[in-house]
Amino acid sequence: MDDEIQLISDGQGLAVIGEPMAVDRFLSAQGLESRELGLPRLANILSASSGAADAASLVASNSGRWVQLTTDSAAKIDQFGLMKGSGPGLSRGVVTSNGKIQSLVEFTKGPGALLANPAVLAGAAGVMAQVAMQQTMDEILDYLAVIDEKVDDILRAQKDAVLADIVGVGAVIQEAMTIRDHVGRVSEVSWSKLLSTSMTIARTQAYALRQLDALADKVERQTKLGELAKTSKQAETKVMEWLAVLARCFQLQDAIAILELDRVLDASPGELDSYRLGLRASRQERLELISRSTAHLLARMDLAASRANSKALLHPQSARAVVLSSNNVGSAVIDFQGLLGIERDRQALEARRWVDAASEMRDKVLETGSDGIDSAKRLGNETLVRTKSVSGKAVETGSGSLDAARRLGSENLGRAKSVSGRFSSGLAERTRGRRAENGKRGEEGDDEG
């Protein structure tokens, strides 16, 4: 059954194993792009393992291709309904020439028999992980070539010893990869040269992430728009350089992981699956660390652009410069995140035109003026009502006072008349009394004379 195709998926990629012509027909029919899986290296390692010589011969007689599982390719593979395998996180199946998947237990030889051998299945999963990381390494190389054709010059120009060391580490790792491609394995000599490289790479990555955080904080601290425009422009250049450093670190870390899997596959095949999953978890932690740092940078740049847009009326050129730098940084970071498989959705901000800012300001002024007129009207009405109320009270108070005065005047007049009457009566009585007394004295004088 030469048309049988064995499929193994680890959730990130798909291994297609079978007779070379059958593999090519299957991939062509499904419209899937692939790259060499590297089965000869797996066969060499299995041939040196006790009890796996037959499996090695079977592997060597077949062709293997690797397919990266994207949204499109995963949808095409789902139609075959792969079954969960015995290995962690693996699914598998055998497809015949009619495009249908068959029960795995039916096959005791041919491509389907590979699935019954745990060593082969674990080895295939390990090789798939290596190919996936090699794919990322190649994409990073293309990325670095696009953003700067002289990335090594950037690294060499750095005065910091941390960055200078990464150039030497890259040379050592490249040497080990070249020898591996020729020998088919990682020798003790090659491995001994790599023992200190992981620490140097990790230190450089941490340094680059701190530099990105420092740039984000510096942008956030600027309060004057002119200084913000200057800082944003400087950040635009620096971010590109530090992203290149991070990309180079990630590439070298994947290269180290590929070499580590070779060592484990050679020395302890039984630990390959657990080691592969451990490397995947470690890789995911690095991705999350990079994701948080770059997301922080994007948030600060977007905030700076929003602040600049709010001042576009008074400082149109500076505002436009800040928004432009923010968008350039954002595009660079999004491309970098996409390269590493970090999914982000960010909309570019538009620099506000001076006319738009002026129109908005005019509308605000008119709205504020309208509110002022309404407030003035309300204040005038309230004042008028209060004035009328006060006037009414004043009139009421005045009228009351007039009546009181009138009553008081009448009473005083009455009292005055009464007093005057009593005074006049007393005076008249006293006058009459004196006249009477004088008359009596005159009569007595006459009698004596």
Say how many CA atoms lie within 13 Å of 240 toward its Cβ: 22
Give the SS3 label for residue 222: coil
Say whether 392 sits in a helix, a strand or coil.
helix
Query: Token pair of 363, please?
Result: 């509308």
Structure tokens at 20: 């070379």
* Residue owning tokens 């004057």: 224
pLDDT at 144: 84
Per-residue pLDDT of the chain in tens (449 residues, 90 and over written 9) = 457 788 888 888 888 888 888 888 888 888 888 998 877 777 666 665 555 556 666 666 677 889 988 888 888 777 777 777 656 677 877 777 655 555 444 434 454 555 556 667 777 888 889 999 999 999 998 888 877 655 555 555 555 666 778 888 999 999 999 998 888 888 889 899 998 899 999 999 999 999 999 999 999 898 888 888 899 898 888 898 899 899 999 999 999 999 999 898 888 877 888 899 999 999 999 999 999 999 999 999 989 888 887 786 666 788 888 888 888 898 889 989 999 988 765 555 454 444 444 444 445 544 544 555 455 455 555 545 554 554 454 444 444 544 544 554 455 445 544 544 543 454 445 545 545 555 554 444 444 43
Q: Contact at 8 Å (CB) between 154 and 163?
A: no
At residue 308, the pLDDT reads: 80
> In the prediction, which pLDDT does 381 show?
59
Residue 323 corresponds to which tokens in the numbers above? 């928004």
